[in-house]
Amino acid sequence: MNKLYIFLKYFFIVVWTVFVVAPFLWALTTSFKDFQSVNGGVTYIPWVDFEPNLEGWKVLIKSPAKGGVDIIEPYFNSLFVTCTASLISIILGTLSAYALSRYTFKAGFVKNNDITFFFISQRIMPPIVLSIPFFLFLSSINLLDSLTGLIVVYIVLLMPIAVWIMVDFFNKVPREIDETALIDGCNPYQAFLKVVLPNSIPGLIVAGMFCIIFGWIDFFFAFILTFTEVQLLPVKIVALNSSVTPWWSLSASALVSVAPLIIVAFIVERYLSKGNLSGAIK
Amino acid sequence: MDLVANNLSYKPDDQYHLNEVSFNFKEGNLYTILGRTLSGKTTLLKTIAGLLTPDSGEIEFDGKNFLKIPVWERNVAMVYQQFINYPHLNVFENIAFPLKQRKIDQSIIKEKVMDALKSVGLLGYENRKIQELSGGQQQRVSLARSLVKNAKILLLDEPLVNLDYKLREQLREEFKNLFSKGLADETILIYSTTDPRETMELNGEVIVLDEGKVLQVGPAKEIFENPNSLKVAEISNDPPMNIIEAKISDNQIRFEGIDVEAPQHLSKLTEDGLKIGLRSSDIELNENGHEFEVELAEISGSETLLHLKRGDTKIIVSIEEVLNFKIHDKVKINFKIDKAYAFHADGKLASSPFGGLNG
């Protein structure tokens, strides 16, 4: 019984690991292949099955003049837009969420829960519905094809996530903690900064993670709202595709583009394993 | 420095949380607010602290309008029934928090925090995380945090209710010591509780609160001996005082076919709708007594609580030993009728064995 349990446990762990890791390995080997090794039948092992070369990677950093597709600028554009939009969304979202959790708002039949739902409802609409209004809006304020315009749009998309997660989190932080801070001589701003916020770090991390993921992987709005001046990574990667599909550089760019998310995941995992997410508030 | 309230009312929904509450608290005294759950105790304490603003009424402290002063400038301290501490700070930082907020010198903070730790018996715990402490220890930390401020008004909102029996006894003892150590010389101590025993033990001035209304104010002994109404008699006794609908005529108290000779302080009450009140401890098992049927027998600590029934009359008897009874057993009991109270049909006290009213 016990041995069977251990066997099954490791069996499923191995199966799952293969399931998760195999695509990465596949992409990694493909990125070192050339036309011949991709199209000339199935090959797996470098140096044995095929001769690896760095052409797929070189294309990514060569300038277009030399026949490459420079993804370095779009890469940093993407990083900048995602981080800025996430940061602003988290700050604004946390403040709104705190207000929604602690104060009572009322405008006719509209109450706190309705306002929270209004935020979430922004995510219920399919993106295509929003694309035309966003396009017209950005063009009217001359921000089409600019980083600032993208940041504005991403804040609209990411802030609901932050509000949604943080409202739920603040609702679980006992009100009495704020009240005790007030009694102990904090004004409401100090109570928020010195007591509520330090106890909300787990929530902030979760919200931040979601914002970064959703911001980083967005293709649709980056595609619609930019043309030539500014390009983001997902759009550039898709643009790699030409008459001959360059599997090698596509694989390389895919690996490069998931790298930041993997780094974020590792940091959060370290934090999680320290037990910092549990037991902060009973 | 007195804390005076006039006609405080607070009605956030369709029910009064506070209903025309007035009081005059003097410094150096202990006030106990006794009331059942949802009677408005916490609301009253939060109103004094400034966390709630009453709909109407005034609070004055030291001659100043208290309602105009925000919470963080009021210099009050409060201990909640849940153990509220700052989870991200350790024990020392928790207790030092209110002092740091006042920008007091580091060395003085250290000294004061150590003093407070000592007075709640937590020396040596200063570097522990809050989550590592037991409930009782957590509550001591929050007590220490409220003591360290030397607040003029100290509010304790059912501080012992979430602790287990033994800890409760122990902390209650420590509270009494703390209160009597001269801590209270310049402080107004306000302690809310649902527990009549706690009230009697703390032996301060008692305010009986029910549905947001003050029912009676007086020293603990006075509330115990002469509750001014049925409600107060129920609230200030645990188990609640037995209420028996009876009729007095020819010097006999008559109910459910039982005749008991009326004691002197009850003999003149011949009106209709009279209710006789008798504490559960003033009824005893007696071979020659009146027969009742057992509805439920619960053993609590070293005590047995018997829920008895005869006709429509239900009473609770507490016996100072552990006895086993079965449901539907017949028992014989005797009433210590000279300890009986009488209440008018409207619930007002008619007569008490301690000389209240018609004595």
Query: Does B232 map to a domain?
Result: no
Backbone angles phi, psi at B5, to 5 degrees: -120, 140
> Is the same domain home to B191 and B320?
no
Cα-only R_g, chain A: 24
Query: Does B237 map to a domain?
Result: no
State residue A89's pLDDT score.
Answer: 96
B241 at the A interface (CB within 8 A)?
no
Distance from CA of B206 to the nearest CA of A (A): 25
Average pLDDT of the segment spanning B105-109 = 93
Q: Which of B164, B194, B227 represents a domain boundary (last residue)?
A: B227
> Is the same domain home to B94 and B187?
yes
State residue B357's pLDDT score.
Answer: 59
Query: Does B236 map to a domain?
Result: no
State residue A134's pLDDT score.
Answer: 93
CB B334 within 8 A of CB B289: yes
Query: Does B304 map to a domain?
Result: yes
Residue A200's closest chain B neighbor by CA?
B88
CATH code assigned at B331: 2.40.50.140
In chain A, residues with a C-beta closer than 8 Å to the C-beta of B98 are 184-185
Residue A173's closest chain B neighbor by CA?
B87
Quick: pLDDT tens for B292-317: 999 988 888 788 899 998 888 889 99
Count of positions (residues) in chain A: 282
Q: Please, how many CA atoms are within 13 Å of residue A230, restricted to the half-sphere of its CB?
A: 22
Residues 6+ apart with CB under 8 A from B249: B270
Instruction: Say if the Cβ atoms of A177 and B97 lie within 8 Å.
Output: no
Work out the burial of residue B27: count CB atoms within 10 Å of its CB; fewer than 13 is exposed, 13-18 middle, 19 or more buried: middle
Q: State which CATH number among 1.10.3720.10, 1.20.1080.10, 3.30.70.360, 2.120.10.30 fits the domain covering A72-273.
A: 1.10.3720.10
Q: What ranges do the domains of chain A cover?
A: 2-53, 72-273
CB pairs under 8 A between A and B: 61
pLDDT in tens, chain A (282 residues): 789 999 999 999 999 999 999 999 989 988 888 877 777 777 777 777 777 888 888 888 887 777 778 888 999 999 999 999 999 999 999 999 999 999 988 888 888 889 989 888 888 888 888 899 999 999 999 999 999 999 999 999 999 999 999 999 999 888 999 999 999 999 999 999 999 998 888 889 889 999 999 999 999 999 999 988 888 899 888 888 777 788 888 899 999 999 999 998 888 888 777 655 544 444
State residue A280's pLDDT score.
Answer: 46
Q: Which of B184, B202, B227 represents a domain boundary (last residue)?
A: B227
> Is the same domain home to B122 and B92?
yes
Query: Does B359 map to a domain?
Result: no
Cα-only R_g, chain B: 24
* Host domain of residue B40: 3-227
CATH code assigned at B72: 3.40.50.300
CB B137 within 8 A of CB B125: yes
Q: Which of B182, B204, B227 represents a domain boundary (last residue)?
A: B227
Interatomic CA distance for residues A196 and A175, integer angstroms: 9
Give me the DSSP letters along B216-250.
Answer: EEEEHHHHHH--SBHHHHHHTSSSPPEEEE-EEET
Tokens 């932080």 belong to: A173
ipTM: 0.84
> Is the same domain home to B265 and B153?
no
Interatomic CA distance for residues A182 and B50, integer angstroms: 9
For A174, which of B82, B88, B102 is closest by C-beta distance?
Answer: B82
Give the pLDDT band (50/70/90) at residue B358. Answer: very low
In chain A, residues with a C-beta closer than 8 Å to the C-beta of B51 are 179, 182-183
State residue B184's pLDDT score.
Answer: 56
> Is the same domain home to B294 and B191?
no
> Is the same domain home to B145 and B262?
no
DSSP B262: P
Instruction: Say if the Cβ atoms of A182 and B72 lie within 8 Å.
Output: yes
Instruction: Say if the Cβ atoms of B72 and A183 lie within 8 Å.
Output: yes
In chain B, residues with a C-beta closer than 8 Å to the C-beta of A185 are 72-73, 98, 101-102
> Is the same domain home to B201 and B248?
no
For B98, which of A179, A185, A280 is closest by C-beta distance?
Answer: A185
State residue B356's pLDDT score.
Answer: 66
Distance from CA of B106 to the nearest CA of A (A): 17
CB B1 within 8 A of CB B27: yes
Quick: pLDDT tens for B211-227: 999 999 999 999 998 99
> Is the same domain home to B41 and B152?
yes
In chain B, residues with a C-beta closer than 8 Å to the C-beta of A282 are 87, 131
Query: Does B214 map to a domain?
Result: yes
Q: Say if residue B71's pLDDT is above 70.
A: yes
Token pair listed for A75: 């890469």
For A195, which of B49, B86, B102 is closest by C-beta distance?
Answer: B86
Instruction: Say if the Cβ atoms of A180 and B72 lie within 8 Å.
Output: no
Which three-class secondary structure string do you get for B108-139?
A: HHHHHHHHHHHHCCCCCCCCCEHHHCCHHHHH
Tally of structural domains, chain B: 2
> Is the same domain home to B287 and B202?
no
Give the pLDDT band (50/70/90) at residue B272. Answer: confident
Instruction: Say if the Cβ atoms of A177 and B84 lie within 8 Å.
Output: yes
